[in-house]
């Protein structure tokens, strides 16, 4: 299914998928390798170089900036010391902790839910969006984005949260990425796993702050990242409290209560955490306000942006990549002191080695 | 100010205070000692009696039920064992962890904010709600509830979250309860502090789930209860991301995005925690769905209701107490197996001993 969509030309359809209006929406054609010169990286050499830390990171300015920051906030008695309870790091998910091309994986899952539900909805055969989806007719899909959203909402709501969790697990156990040909949960970034470990070892609390939903991530994020269900902030779908079979449950409803993207991210962070983070890592303009918020507090802070400039190993997209483009945030980086991490130059490897039997 | 309001007769005004529509709203005349017979307590003797645990609890059925439950979920290798990551306890705040009469203390704070802001609002002198507030004319207040809500919103929004935090701190440092004559943060319940400690020592994660706002509680809950800012779920006021003095901040706006009361509590719990709690403690019908949700999972669980039947030491109110009444939840308790805790009979003491110099 994704093969159709990533060949398309209009963003509008994907933008509105399932009402996840602000959810990371990738240029359907996307991924072209237009690469403007990166802004200067505002990193200084690490005060305390640690040869063993971040082994998948090249020994460059980005790694040095991270090590220097972690050392500076954990050294008691200095002016840059930050007590453990205030060491809060926030990470975007799609495109920052795992891949997001040809489009955010949650959207691919939601589309597959439509296909799975189709046998129970004979009436969909007359739905122009459904016909376009099955015929891989992307131009028609773009014309019928409203009907597509209705389809996605119908196929992704109405069940209990427990039932939906199970459908996410089932999908992840079987689905593979259309071009990288690996299970989606294999497409986490090895250098970021090392960064999470480094931060955790230095007393940081780590939170995901995503345009996707917490429900989609919670099913796999503990195993993939070591991040617990109560440390995931996301876009919030409507839920209704109800009784099914004599038990009290939560039922998924169409529509959104909160969009955790752009200026929504600081609000989501404040509501869930109640403190201003001191480290933020994103990869697109949807993360810009999160980085601003984290790096405009009174104490030391570090903002990081991952630049997808690596079509050979992953994908290459930035200013050209629709609504997940890295554009304004990239322009802001030098003046804000944000560190731009080049996937091509700063990472020795991108993905973990395939697990035996996972291919 | 509170002395006016708790003598009044209409609930409507308080119900709508500052738009906290579902926030615990007490009968203004309230607190009369009408006491129907309590339902049977579904507790068995503790399997592992612990003479030292919960020292402020009488050695009765409620204490025994708590000790038995904690022992049963922490004993590895048994059918009732619950792994630590699933040991989630949720507590209502107002009336469960601290007092809530003559009305929730957050509402008293918000009213005082109106008085503090009055010198900057000469136009309020012509506002009938403001005149009623200053003249302690409760009948007039009830007639002008709409204008009162506008006043409360005006006085409690527009500033940054940091500025508002400071105003909460300033208020708590100086305000005293109108009849108990102690600082509000002294009016936490000693037996509940011991219960929190017991649960924490047994690997439980403890969350507050309140009809009030997280912002109001976060300022003092760490010190008062040992509950961190990121473990407080509450009603959510509108917030806007903005820039002030070149720094990115969150500005408080009038209105609510989410009401964490009644059927909202399971939704708030699911969104923040992502798991079903196994212990829930409340004191009013606004906690009923939270208790239902916590006690209808597949494994062991414990629901608890605090019955305010103790006018001599605190307050006495239940079916007669306006929108924080204990009525339907009380009726449900026997069939649900919820334990009703009598403040009069189950607690040896109610409040901690006054701190030196705090009176």
Backbone angles phi, psi at A131, to 5 degrees: -60, -40
Q: Residue A271 is nearest to which of B214, B274, B275, comparing CB atoms?
A: B214
By CB atoms closer than 10 A (0-12, 13-18, 19+), residue B237 is buried
Q: Which two tokens stand for residue A53?
A: 């830390």
Taking an 8 Å cut-off on Cβ atoms, the answer to whether A296 and B239 are in contact is: no
Q: Residue A272 is nearest to which of B230, B240, B257, comparing CB atoms?
A: B230
Taking an 8 Å cut-off on Cβ atoms, the answer to whether A248 and B272 are in contact is: no
SS3 content of chain A, % helix, strand, coil (to 5): 45, 20, 40
Q: Touching check for B214 and chain A: CB below 8 Å? A: yes
Q: Which two tokens stand for residue B8?
A: 């009044």
Q: Which residues in chain A touch residue B206, judged by CB atoms under 8 angstroms apart?
A: none
Backbone angles phi, psi at B148, to 5 degrees: -65, -45
Say whether A136 sits in a helix, a strand or coil. coil
Query: Chain A to chain B, count of Cβ pairs less than 8 Å apart?
Result: 76
CB distance A204 to A197 below 8 Å: no
- Going along A14-105, which residue ranges are E strands? 88-91
Q: Which two tokens stand for residue B172?
A: 């708590």
Q: Which residues in chain A touch residue B161, judged by CB atoms under 8 angstroms apart?
A: 270
What does the pLDDT look like over A277-314, one tens digit per residue? 999 999 999 999 999 999 999 999 999 999 999 999 99
Q: What is the pLDDT of residue A255?
A: 93
Taking an 8 Å cut-off on Cβ atoms, the answer to whether A266 and B241 are in contact is: yes
Q: Which residue of A has its CA nearest to B272?
A: A230
Residues present in chain B in total: 359
B234: distance to nearest CA of chain A, Å?
9
Distance CA A218, CA B94 (A): 30
Say whether A106 sits in a helix, a strand or coil. helix
Helix/strand/coil (H/E/C) assignment for every residue in chain B:
CHHHHCCCCCCHHHHCHHHCCCCCCCCCCCCCCCCCCCCCCCCCCCCCCCCCCCCCECCCHHHHHHHHHHHHHCCCCCCCCCCHHHCEEEECCECCCECCCCCCHHHHHHHHHHHHHHHHCHHHHHCHHHHHHHCCCHHHHHHCHHHHHHHHHHHCCCCEHHHHHHHHHHHHHHCECCCCCCEHHHCECHHHHHHHHHHHHCCCEEEEEEEEEHHHHHHHHHHHHCCCHHHEEEEEEEEEEEEECCEEEEEEEEEEEECCCCCHHHHHHHHHHCCCCCEEEECCHHHHHHHHHHCCCCCCCEEEEEEEECCCCCCEECCCCHHHCCCHHHHHHHHHCCEEEEHHHHECCCCCCCCCCCC
Taking an 8 Å cut-off on Cβ atoms, the answer to whether B273 and A241 are in contact is: no
Q: Which residues in chain A touch residue B221, judged by CB atoms under 8 angstroms apart?
A: none
Q: Touching check for B86 and chain A: CB below 8 Å? A: no
User: Is residue B292 predicted with pLDDT exceeding 50?
Assistant: yes
Q: Which two tokens stand for residue B252?
A: 């408080």
Taking an 8 Å cut-off on Cβ atoms, the answer to whether B267 and A241 are in contact is: yes
Peptide bond between residue A270 and the one before it cis (omega within 30 degrees of 0) = no
Distance CA B60, CA B176 (A): 33
A264: distance to nearest CA of chain B, Å?
8
Place of tokens 């054609």: A29
Q: Touching check for A86 and chain B: CB below 8 Å? A: no
Find which of A217, A248, A273, A332 to mutate to test the B interface (most B CBs within 10 Å of its CB). A248
Q: Touching check for B273 and chain A: CB below 8 Å? A: yes
Q: Which residue of B has its CA nearest to A242?
A: B263
A62: distance to nearest CA of chain B, Å?
25
CATH for B61-102+181-346, options being 1.10.3720.10, 2.40.50.140, 3.40.50.1000, 3.40.50.620: 3.40.50.1000
Q: Which residues in chain B touch residue A274, judged by CB atoms under 8 angstroms apart?
A: 214-215, 218, 229-230, 232
Q: Which residues in chain A touch residue B215, judged by CB atoms under 8 angstroms apart?
A: 274
Q: What is the pLDDT of residue B6?
A: 37
Place of tokens 């006021």: B237
Most confident among A346-350, B51-55, B318-322 (mean pLDDT):
A346-350
Digitized pLDDT (tens) for each residue of chain A, 359 residues in all = 333 333 332 333 334 343 343 332 222 222 223 333 333 444 443 344 477 999 999 999 999 999 999 999 999 999 999 999 999 999 999 999 999 999 999 999 999 999 999 999 999 999 999 999 999 888 898 899 899 989 999 999 999 999 999 999 999 999 999 999 999 999 999 999 999 999 999 999 999 999 999 999 999 999 999 999 999 999 999 999 999 999 999 999 999 999 999 999 999 999 999 999 999 999 999 999 999 999 999 999 999 999 999 999 999 999 988 768 999 999 999 999 999 999 999 999 999 998 776 54
Q: Residue A296 is nearest to which of B205, B240, B248, comparing CB atoms?
A: B248
CB distance B241 to B261 below 8 Å: no
Q: Touching check for A252 and chain B: CB below 8 Å? A: no
Helix/strand/coil (H/E/C) assignment for every residue in A173-219:
HHCECCCCCCEHHHCECHHHHHHHHHHHHCCCEEEEEEEEEHHHHHH
Q: What is the DSSP string of A317-343?
A: ESTTSGGG--SHHHHHHHHHTPEEEEH
Taking an 8 Å cut-off on Cβ atoms, the answer to whether B248 and A293 are in contact is: yes
Name A267's Cβ contacts closer than 8 Å, sequence gap at least 6. Answer: A258, B239, B241, B250
Taking an 8 Å cut-off on Cβ atoms, the answer to whether B275 and A250 are in contact is: no
B273: distance to nearest CA of chain A, Å?
4
Distance CA A203, CA A198 (A): 9
A51: distance to nearest CA of chain B, Å?
34
Provide the CB-side half-sphere exposure for A169 (13 A, CA).
Answer: 10
Taking an 8 Å cut-off on Cβ atoms, the answer to whether B266 and A247 are in contact is: no
Place of tokens 């990115």: B248
Q: Touching check for B299 and chain A: CB below 8 Å? A: no
Q: Could you say which DSSP state residue A38 is in? A: P
Taking an 8 Å cut-off on Cβ atoms, the answer to whether A273 and B232 are in contact is: no
Distance CA A88, CA B53 (A): 35
Residue A341's DSSP bridge partners are A306
Place of tokens 């609504």: A323
CATH 1.10.3720.10 fits A61-101+184-346, yes or no: no
What does the pLDDT look like over B157-204, one tens digit per residue? 999 999 999 999 999 999 999 999 999 999 999 999 999 999 999 999
Q: Residue B266 is nearest to which of A250, A258, A264, comparing CB atoms?
A: A250
Q: Residue A230 is nearest to which of B161, B236, B274, comparing CB atoms?
A: B274
Say whether A134 sits in a helix, a strand or coil. helix
Q: What is the pLDDT of residue A358?
A: 54
Q: Which residues in chain A touch residue B219, judged by CB atoms under 8 angstroms apart?
A: none
Q: Which residues in chain B touch residue A272, judged by CB atoms under 8 angstroms apart?
A: 230, 272
Q: Residue A273 is nearest to which of B229, B239, B267, comparing CB atoms?
A: B229
Distance CA A24, CA A6 (A): 14
Say whether A90 sits in a helix, a strand or coil. strand
What does the pLDDT average to over B252-280? Answer: 97
What does the pLDDT look like over B74-131, one tens digit per residue? 999 999 999 999 999 999 999 999 999 999 999 999 999 999 999 999 999 999 999 9
CB distance B292 to B305 below 8 Å: no
By CB atoms closer than 10 A (0-12, 13-18, 19+), residue B238 is middle
The domain segmentation of chain A, as residue ranges, is 2-31+103-174, 61-101+184-346
Q: Provide the pairing of β-strand A247-258 with A232-244.
A: antiparallel
Say whether A47 sits in a helix, a strand or coil. coil
């Amino acid at each position: 299914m994704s093969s159709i969509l990533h060949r398309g030309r209009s963003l509008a359809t994907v933008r509105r998928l399932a009402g996840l209006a602000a959810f990371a929406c990738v240029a359907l054609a996307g991924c072209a390798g237009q690469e403007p010169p990166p802004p200067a990286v505002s990193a200084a050499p690490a005060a305390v170089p640690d040869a063993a830390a971040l082994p998948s990171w090249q020994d460059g300015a980005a790694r040095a900036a991270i090590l220097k920051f972690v050392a500076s906030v954990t050294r008691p008695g200095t002016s840059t010391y930050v007590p453990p309870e205030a060491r809060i790091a926030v990470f975007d998910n799609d495109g920052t902790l795992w891949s997001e091309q040809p489009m955010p994986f949650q959207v691919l899952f939601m589309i597959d839910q439509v296909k799975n539900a189709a046998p129970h909805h004979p009436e969909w055969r007359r739905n122009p969006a459904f016909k376009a989806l099955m015929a891989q007719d992307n131009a028609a899909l773009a014309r019928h984005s409203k009907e597509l959203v209705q389809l996605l909402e119908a196929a992704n709501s109405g069940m209990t949260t427990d039932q939906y969790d199970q459908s996410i697990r089932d999908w992840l156990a079987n689905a593979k990425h259309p071009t990288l040909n690996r299970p989606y949960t294999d497409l986490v970034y090895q250098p970021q796993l090392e960064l999470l470990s480094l931060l955790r070892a230095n007393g940081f609390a780590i939170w995901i702050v995503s345009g996707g939903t917490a429900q989609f991530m919670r099913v796999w994020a503990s195993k993939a990242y070591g991040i617990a269900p109560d440390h995931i902030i996301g876009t919030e779908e409507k839920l209704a409290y109800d009784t099914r079979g004599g038990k009290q449950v939560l039922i998924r409803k169409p529509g959104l209560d909160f969009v955790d993207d752009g200026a929504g991210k600081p609000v989501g962070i404040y509501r869930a955490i109640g403190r201003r983070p001191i480290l933020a890592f994103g990869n697109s303009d949807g993360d810009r306000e999160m980085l601003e918020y984290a790096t405009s507090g009174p104490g030391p802070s570090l903002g990081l942006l991952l630049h997808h400039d690596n079509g050979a190993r992953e994908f290459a997209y930035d200013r050209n990549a629709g609504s997940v483009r890295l554009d304004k945030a990239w322009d802001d980086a030098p003046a804000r002191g944000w560190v731009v991490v080049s996937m091509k130059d700063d990472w020795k490897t991108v993905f973990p080695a395939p697990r035996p039997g996972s291919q």
